[in-house]
Chains A and B, each alone.
Chain A
Amino acid sequence: MEKTVYLDNNATTQVDPKVVEAMTPYFCEYYGNPSSMHDFGGKVGQKIKEARETVKEFMGASLASEIVFTASGSESANMAIRGVLEANKKQKHIITTKIEHPCVLNLYKTLEKEGYRVTWLSVDNDGSLDPQELEDSICDETALVSIMYANNETGIIFPVEKLAELVKRKNPKTKVFVDAVQAAGKIKLNVKDTQIDLMGISGHKIHAPKGIGALYIKKGTIVMPLIVGGHQERGKRAGTENVPYIIGLAKACELAQNALKDESTRVKALRDKLEKGIIERIPNARLNAAVENRVPNTTNIGFQYIEGELILLHMSDAGICASSGSACTSGSLEPSHVLRSMGIPFTALHGSIRFSLSRFTTEDEIDYVLETLPQIIKRLNQFSPFQKELKALGA
């Protein structure tokens, strides 16, 4: 298959060629150790300093020293959560949501085993949290509240700034961690004006390579390191800096910052066109998160009475890459915990597909999907034992 229409940017993104270009000299030319005494290494140290400044600007932090480079979004989350709990061993209560990314979800499940009490906040059919439920859950014992900025499957944005204020009003000692992996590069981050203490991002979701991430730690927040060793990252994360990738992340942040307008206008228009087009052309299609407050690149659509893996396989044959929270993908055999939490009906749950765009998505690609997908679904509908139900929907 020659044609590839990549609409799975919430899984990972194409590395921007400009990012590769920025990184390249740091492999064979400027390979010095930023900690070295000689000028050859010192120059690299200077570049790391500039990179930290750029990432600071991107996240909207006050100080470059609030940014720690990590190896991934998962590491950022683990460092924030474990680091805060390590630093404060007396409080044993954590609050989070049922729809966090597995990297956070599974960490909390581990912490539950280690003796922490975890409160899991639920979402309603629109995917929104109930602030009252959050407020009622906070107590003296609460060490940490963690809420994702935007959900990876539905794109729904949570009002993390307001929720952080609420947390601090109820218990000023409670720390707030926000997993911003799916929000970064899609909406503007401005962490300094909020009460958020920790915020994580990942490079490969914003056109940097895999293997680099960052964690914002508000000045004065004590976080114990996960990796102990040298003095790198002000002692917060030991290990010689991953220089080329840090340079790459900074370049990606700069490009993403400049593309925010494109994201909220052109990319959003393409997403809306795709969404509207699918709903109009395919009678058994159903929008799973019909809310305005979503990141501009994501849509999640349920195709009723057919199964998601089969749709993905047939789309893949047509060169279209998307993903699914359906039972049969990704080895888990379980339908998406996010869509389940939102009460998506059985009829659409197993046939739900996420399309996620990026600034590299073109109108031609969206037109191709709108042309191809209805034929695929029409054919797959014929396989379904629910002919009567499909007919009732007009399919």
Chain B
Amino acid sequence: MWDYSEKVMEHYRNPKNVGSIDNADAIGEAGSLACGDMLKLFLKVNKDGIIEDAKFQTFGCGSAVASSSILTEMIIGMHIDEAKKITNKQIADELGGLPPEKMHCSVMGHEALEAAIANYYGEEVQHCAEEKVICTCAFVTENELRQAIQEKGLKSVEDVVTATGAGSGCGRCHGAINKLLQEAQKPKMDLSAMSKTQQIININNVIERFIAGELRKDGGDIELVDVDGTKVYVKLRGACASCKNALMTLKYFVENTLRDHISPDIEVIEV
């Protein structure tokens, strides 16, 4: 049994605002059937920008339903621009906390809200790019693997199998996992052999080519402030919380991209 708070239990037992809204002013979606979690959020917004009604439909576990339910309660009566400021942590806090393994449920709520708000403003809803699944037996995606390899310092296919479950089934993905391991292990560029100016140029190149564009699409931006060894100091601006991955925060996105293109030792620090 999970150690769910009273509030979580209350909300999966009797969720508030279940259903859909005909002629909704905004609809947002997050997750998918294959992932085991999916949330659809419907908003009714009046001409002053106040969210008059919110409803949800969720395919997911107890904490996914509870996160959806509490989210609708939080945003009803709120101005849409206020709702935009809600973070996944606030959703989890409102529920009296979630078990660490279930934090992604609150992230999903946050993503669906973002998608709905983008939809309201007529922006193209940024569907999370369909992620590449490496291990189809255990449904482990490329991003999840890269993240696990980096965070847990995995060195071999066996390490990856034990830590993530990827490759535990048919084993056909062992080659692909090996490739990810190799990529993670060898630095693409040797930062220590560069002058500071070269470091900044190289990092800036990656930021401009692979990161800034993604952030600007969503009205955000990134600015390189300083480089100190493998520490990269950046300023993140504006509404740049667009999702790249259900579990990945913006910092991860920046850090992973830099690690992929430059060196696995890079650490991103927000200033």
Contact = CB atoms under 8 A, between A and B. Distances in A.
Interface in B16-46: 18-20, 29, 33-34, 36-40
Interface string B196-209: 00000000000000
B189 interface: no
A226 to B, nearest CB: 22
Interface stretch (A66-74, A250-258, A301-309): A301-309
Interface string A157-190: 0000000000000000000000000000000000
B20 A387 contact: yes
A326 interface: yes
Interface in B119-170: 137-139, 158, 161-162, 165, 168-170
B61 interface: yes
Contacts of A109: 158, 161-162, 168
B62 A334 contact: no
B19 A382 contact: yes
Nearest to A382: B18
A308 to B, nearest CB: 8
Contacts, number: 88
B60 interface: yes
A19 B39 CA distance: 49
B137 to A, nearest CB: 6
A385 B15 contact: no
A66 B231 CA distance: 64
Contacts of B185: none
Given A310-B61, A340-B169, A385-B58, A331 B13 contact: no
A334 B165 CA distance: 8
A385 B161 contact: no
Interface residues of A, number: 36
B158 A307 contact: no
B57 A387 contact: yes
B65 interface: yes
Contact of B57 (A327, A333, A347, A384): A384
A320 to B, nearest CB: 15
Contacts of B19: 382
A332 B168 CA distance: 14
A313 interface: yes
A309 B33 CA distance: 15
B164 to A, nearest CB: 9
Contact of A120 (B20, B101, B170): B170
Interface string A319-334: 0000000111001111
A38 interface: no
Contacts of A306: 59
A65 interface: no
B15 A307 contact: no
A315 to B, nearest CB: 12
B96 interface: no
Q: How large is the interface on B (under 10, 10 to 19, 20 to 34, 35 or more residues)?
A: 20 to 34
B58 A383 contact: yes
B212 interface: no
Contacts of B36: 307, 326-328, 335, 350
A309 B61 contact: yes
B12 A305 contact: no
A384 B138 contact: no
B254 interface: no
Interface string B162-182: 100100111100000000000
Contacts of B162: 109
A313 B158 contact: no
A200 B64 CA distance: 40
B59 A305 contact: yes
A347 B34 CA distance: 8
A307 B61 contact: yes
Contact of B65 (A122, A317, A347, A383): A383
Given A328-B36, A385-B40, A310 B138 contact: no
A332 B140 CA distance: 13
A241 interface: no
A305 B13 CA distance: 18
A27 interface: no
A113 interface: yes
Nearest to A379: B18
Contacts of A307: 36-37, 59-61, 64
A120 B171 contact: yes
Contacts of A98: 169-170
Given A328-B36, A333-B101, A334-B139, A386 B59 contact: yes
A125 interface: no
Nearest to A335: B36
A341 B169 contact: yes
Contacts of A346: 33-34
B158 A347 contact: no
A112 B60 contact: no
Interface of A: 98, 105, 109, 112-113, 120, 122, 305-310, 313-314, 317, 326-328, 331-335, 337, 340-341, 346-347, 350, 382-387
Interface of B: 12-13, 15, 18-20, 29, 33-34, 36-40, 57-62, 64-65, 101, 137-139, 158, 161-162, 165, 168-171
5 contacts: A122-B170, A317-B13, A337-B168, A347-B33, A383-B57
Given A109-B168, A310-B60, A334-B139, 13 more contacts: A305-B33, A308-B61, A309-B62, A310-B65, A313-B12, A334-B138, A334-B165, A350-B59, A382-B19, A383-B15, A383-B58, A385-B29, A385-B58
